[in-house]
Amino acid sequence: MDVNTFSAYAYFFLTLFLVIVLYAYIYHLYTKRKSVDGVDYEEYAKMALDDDLDATPVKSKSKEKEK
């Protein structure tokens, strides 16, 4: 096996490995949507789409602190 053939195999398997890692990360993001403290940060993405002054807040604030 010469260097060019070895380089081609290494490139192919590295690319395959990185694609698998990417899809595993995407799967992890969509299955674990809420963080440990229970906050779903995808709700905050709606702020970019719904950017009016009279839009409802993503998270309402209460006068008492949550415990």
Q: Each residue of 1-53: pLDDT tens digit?
A: 899 999 999 999 999 999 999 999 988 877 776 666 666 667 777 777 777 77
- Looking at residue 64, its pLDDT comes to 63
- What would the mean pLDDT of 53-57 be, rounded to a whole number? 75
For residue 6, give both structure tokens: 């070895």
The rounded distance, in Å, linking the Cα atoms of 28 and 23 is 8
Judge contact between 58 and 43, C-beta under 8 A: yes
Contacts of 35 (CB under 8 A, 6+ apart): 41
Phi-psi region of 38 (alpha: psi -120 to 50; beta: other; left: phi over 0): left
- Looking at residue 27, its pLDDT comes to 87
- Looking at residue 47, its pLDDT comes to 74
